[in-house]
Amino acid sequence: MADVTFQGAPVHTAGELPAVGSQAPDFSLASGELKDLTLADFKGRKKLLNIVPSLDTPVCAISTRRFNDVGAKAAVLIISADLPFAAGRVVQADGLEQVVTLSTLRSPEFGAAYGVGIIDSPLKGLMARAVVVLDENDQVIYTQLVSEIADEPDYAAAIAALG
């Protein structure tokens, strides 16, 4: 279990982020078209997983816009507990074409597998803010669990990990 905060109040997650150097846990998450996508759907590409509580918040929307710019270097996957329709509206409204939104709607186990599922506080059931970067073979090459959920991730470090 990891400890983070939300506006200064303690929040706990379901575990720890996958270790750098480990094989990323597979997942099956719902796309905006309600198709289940897995890591295999992005085979052979680097992947940047921008895990957020909800795209319907300012910081989550900002991070999605910032990571949209690296879509040529990697598959940029925006993962939240949002309904696929809502996530799709956010990226469409901002004209973000280099990201793929994925929902944990049918996959609550994602939060435990990646150690980001919030298990207490008013945010229970959402994901903590985190970034996980995977190489072309789905090996973890960078992770960040943002210690304060209301803060933005370290964009420069995540982008640098992509090479």
Between 57 and 118, name the one with better pLDDT. Answer: 118
Residue 105 falls inside a structural domain: yes
What pLDDT is attached to residue 147? 96
Between 131 and 72, name the one with better pLDDT. Answer: 131
Q: Work out the percent of the chain whose per-residue pLDDT is above 90.
A: 73
Instruction: Give the DSSP H/E element, type plus range, for residue 37.
Output: strand 36-38
Per-residue tokens: 84: 């696929």
Residue 15 falls inside a structural domain: no
Residue 88 falls inside a structural domain: yes
Which residues are identified as catalytic? Answer: 60
**CATH number of the domain encompassing residue 115:** 3.40.30.10
- pLDDT, tens digit, 9 for 90 and up, residues 92-147: 766 678 889 999 999 989 999 999 999 999 999 999 999 999 999 999 999 999 99
Half-sphere exposure of 76 (CA within 13 A, CB side): 21
Structural domains in the chain (count): 1
Between 86 and 83, name the one with better pLDDT. Answer: 83
Across 25-39, 56-70, 144-158, least confident range: 56-70
The answer to whether residue 44 scores a pLDDT higher than 80 is yes
| Pair 1, 13: CB distance under 8 Å | yes
What pLDDT is attached to residue 95? 67
Q: What distance in Å separates the CA atoms of residue 101 and residue 82, rounded to the nearest whole number?
A: 9
For 100, the 3-state DSSP assignment is strand
| Beta bridge partner(s), residue 36 | 30
Main-chain dihedrals φ then ψ at residue 137, nearest 5 degrees: -105, 15
Query: For all residues of the chain together, what is the average pLDDT?
Result: 92
Q: Work out the percent of the chain whose per-residue pLDDT is above 70.
A: 98
Residue 89 falls inside a structural domain: yes
Residue 19 falls inside a structural domain: no
Among residues 55, 63, 77, 53, which one has the least CA distance to residue 127? 53
Residue 24 falls inside a structural domain: no
Residue 22 falls inside a structural domain: no
Q: How large is the average pLDDT for residues 32-59?
A: 93
Q: Structural domain of residue 69, as residue ranges?
A: 3-10+29-35+42-161
